Amino acid sequence: MPSAPGSGISGSVRLKYVKLGYQYLVNHFLTLLLVPVMAAAALELLRLGPDELLNLWRSLHLDLVHILCSAFLVVFVATVYFMSRPRPVYLVDYCCYKPSPSFRVPFTTFMEHIKLISNNEKSLRFQTRILERSGLGEETCLPPANHYIPPSPSMEAARAEAQLVIFNAIDDLVLRTGLKPKDIDILVVNCSLFSPTPSLSAMIINRYKLRSNIRSFNLSGMGCSAGLISIDLARDMLQVHPNSNALVISTEIITPNFYHGSRRDMLLPNCLFRMGAAAILLSNRRREASRAKYRLMHVVRTHKGADDRAYRCVYEEEDDEGHSGISLSKELMAIAGEALKSNITTMGPLVLPMSEQLLFFFRLVGRKVINKKWKPYIPDFKLAFEHFCIHAGGRAVIDELQKNLDLSPRHVEASRMTLHRFGNTSSSSLWYELAYIEAKGRMRKGDRVWQIGFGSGFKCNSAVWKCLRAVKTPTDGPWDDCIQRYPVHIPEVVKL
């Protein structure tokens, strides 16, 4: 017999309220337990008269020595606690490089260049199909050297791109924060595929005349997740160096990495990667807390490099004709899923409410003891975070995480729109996504942000930030001239 109209809806509504009730009960268990106890104790004290309270105090037999010893013990324990706890790390502000419109590469321009560079019809059709399904828009940008026919990937051109994107991002950050060169104590730069001598960090020190005793680091070869590795390194340095500022630069230099061959697994980066950079100012100075945007809560890093499949799924090599490039394995998404699973297993206990942790634990025990065929419980991370910044590595990456984490289209909107407007800017993409959320005016005090990055090796890294103040909608930044147009509809296939 068919069910009555609306019975399915009413059942789902009842189930929703049952789950909400369960979450409230578990998450506030201690409060619900202690309130009646405290109320009973208060009523008992109110029932006692002044004489009975005085006799109770005298019965404790406290003298001056006991009181002083107790006070000393309390002060000692409090001192040890405050001295041993981690120093807070604040994100004062950040800026993203905004490419000039002259660097834009519409689909038609890109494909025309490919036709003129390569005579391989199969490669041309393959790259056309990739672009049609990539999720990229018509305003993504490539550096000047890649606009030449053929591209001119010289050392001089690569340095010019590095100076362009990095110096512009730093200049904007200096203008926005009033940062002075002498105020920078720690410098961390990450760029995977371009590692010149002197290093990019030395280039920055030379340009801005930074102090001679600055602690500088240059990370290379660590893939698209290197931005969060840089944040983790800066955090560790700020834990051991009090009253310090750390400048973190995340970028990828595209100029020397254009692939000229015809191997399909090595042509993908040509279609997806675009120019970009971000400059981030971190600090552990207490006085910066009042103007800082965010506080760093957690960083969780997962490295699957011990597995040969994971190690080789993103691999720089030469093809049979001697052309160097980055090959992307067909197993990439499966390996990324495994890395994400390991990462959230560590992240979950740090951020999830107790209600979700208990459900995860009971399902895990049930699978071990009762039935191994039970599906594993996927925690609802929407209860832990208001905003998600998923590395805009490609449409498939965003789709997979949206499915696995059961996220709504709004939760992945920043990632999809960043991919559409700027392409895959590697490690800096997370900051373009955060800038999108701010430009939309969605960031509120107390909001929590989860940044998720994937990179070669294979790595999955996460960072959790807590918003310290209501972030005003910025009037500058990478989205200032186009945010009113977003979000846009991105079709599954754009016919070229």
Which residues are annotated as catalytic?
224, 303, 387, 391, 420, 424
Three-state SS string across the chain, please?
Answer: CCCCCCHHHHHHHHHHHHHHHHHHHHHCHHHHHHHHHHHHHHHHHHHCCHHHHHHHHHHCCCCHHHHHHHHHHHHHHHHHHHHHCCCCCEEEEEEECCCCHHHECCHHHHHHHHHHHCCCHHHHHHHHHHHHHCCCCCCCECCHHHHCCCCCCCHHHHHHHHHHHHHHHHHHHHHHHCCCHHHCCEEEEECCCCCCCCCHHHHHHHHHCCCCCCEEEEECCCHHHHHHHHHHHHHHHHHHCCCCEEEEEEEECCHHHCCCCCCHHHHHHHHHECCEEEEEEEECCHHHHHCCCEEEEEEEEEECCCCHHHHHCEEEEECCCCCEEEEECCCHHHHHHHHHHHHHHHHHHHHCCHHHHHHHHHHHHHHHHCCCCCCCCCCCHHHCCCEEEECCCCHHHHHHHHHHCCCCCCCCHHHHHHHHHHCECHHHHHHHHHHHHHHCCCCCCCCEEEEEEEECCCEEEEEEEEECCCCCCCCCCCCCCCHHHCCCCCCCCCCC
Looking up tokens 């324990």 gives: 77
Please give the Cα distance from 477 to 134 (Å, whole number): 25
Q: Describe the strand order of the beta sheet including 186-190 as a list of residue ranges.
A: 215-219, 186-190, 245-252, 276-283, 90-96, 294-303, 459-467, 448-455, 387-390
Number of Cβ atoms within 10 Å of the Cβ of 47: 8
- Asked whether the beta carbons of 159 and 222 are under 8 A apart, the reply is no
